[in-house]
Structure 1
Amino acid sequence: MLFLLAGCASAPQDAAEGPQIYDPIEPVNRVFFAMNDAVDTMVLRPTAFVYKTAVPDPIQDMVRNFLLWLRSPVVIANSLLQGDTDNAGNATRQFFVNGVTAGLIDWGNGLGWGYRDEDFGQTLGVHGVAGGPYLVIPILGPSNGRDLVGRVVDRFFDPLTYIVSGPGARNAITIARGTGEAVDFRARNYDSINDLRASSVDYYARVRSIYLQRRDAEISNGQPPKGVQAADGSQEFEKFEPSDRPRSVTGELPANTN
């Protein structure tokens, strides 16, 4: 799983002031952030570089499509819990149609079949649950109390939890899947993340602020209250995807051409 750009801080308490930073254990979070940054420098970044330069683009697209397809049941469940039947319908259609090729080919590409990524953390946010304290989890990266609960619940929405027998096999698949998502995300955003790190006076604070804005946009489907900005006014990574959500999108659903 990607250590960087995987969660956010708490939801805004005052829409007029924008997302509020609630980071009561910042010293501990900074230690974990430094550890994760070291993992990126020594392992993830070089691996992503080799992957993006050595693997042909069509193969990379297939890997991304497969990872997205695996996640579709979680998106469907959470869309229904949020009352978003349009998004659930699009995700269901894409899951079954792409299932003909085990998700390797996105048959709906360009046909308006796209859908927003949804998780149980977002579902809780939609129903008014605040994010709670900002957390940096070793290996997993930025998160908060609400989204940690969401991660656990999403495991129950994932069919692989029930299809794969034995804790050893499940753990192996979880690690392999998370590693694939991490490398795919890091490769696609290779230069942007490197530039952010190089240009930041306080890398930790900058990522935290970006996450506040990003997670709020995901919960509101790209339509935050007027006047809301990240704590530092940054509009960076508006098109970035969460590390464990390959090819996810926010905002309005694509136009349905059917």
Structure 2
Amino acid sequence: MADIDFFEKGTGQPVLLIHGFCETANMWTDFANTLSDEFRVICPNLPGIAGSPISGDQISLEEVAITLEEWLDECQIQDPIVIGHSLGGYITLALLELMGNRIKAIGLFHSTAFADDAAKKDMRNRATVFLKKHGVDKYVTSFIPMLFPENKRGKLSPEIERAIEDAKRSSLQGLVAYTGAMRDRKNRLEVLKNYSGPKLLIAGTHDGAVTIEASRAQKDAFSHFIELEGVGHMGMVESKDETMEIIREFCRFCVN
């Protein structure tokens, strides 16, 4: 039995929102509250995060996808729209490869189908060393602010502090495991291209984690491509109302 901690709200078409690295399902609370008047919104914590356990500090995105597939079956969640932020987007693509047309539609939120390049792999390795040496609290305190454009960090300091506190609910094993999983993930651009359902990509022009150039390089694989001007890696925080409406309209498109 898949041991996944989650919350859900609403009824109707299932919409699965998958959090990113150094995040928990809590990041989607406002989205769930808003979207649940039309959809059944389900927000899981990935293994090793918050209330979802993990065994060891190694995992692959394929293993996470299998766990989520089992959990979806156990919960009788069928034909979901799956939307993932960053790491959640990588997992969305792994789930898509596994489940295919049993997924109604997908959305990538500041994410990519491309694999890590050599420089990014090296960064992941250094992050692993830092995590093992200094622990979760020190790592997330330095990591989270870098996801936001420098010129917005002062204005968004309360939101950044909340994100840091939420990230501290991640286990050390979980963060080490996902750092390795992201480093070792494969290119899933062909999986994306071959999928015939609706596909959304939300990109930030000031995203330092997934550059706008990388997003534009894969835009033709998506049915819906939206750029957020001046937004970094955390559009759900930086442009909350706009991105909630984008998700709502995409979900409406998928069911009509």
Q: TM-score, normalised by structure 1?
A: 0.28
Structure with more relative contact order (C-alpha pairs < 8 Å, separation 6 or more): 1
Structure showing greater Rg: 1
Greater helix share, structure number = 1
Q: TM-score, normalised by structure 2?
A: 0.28
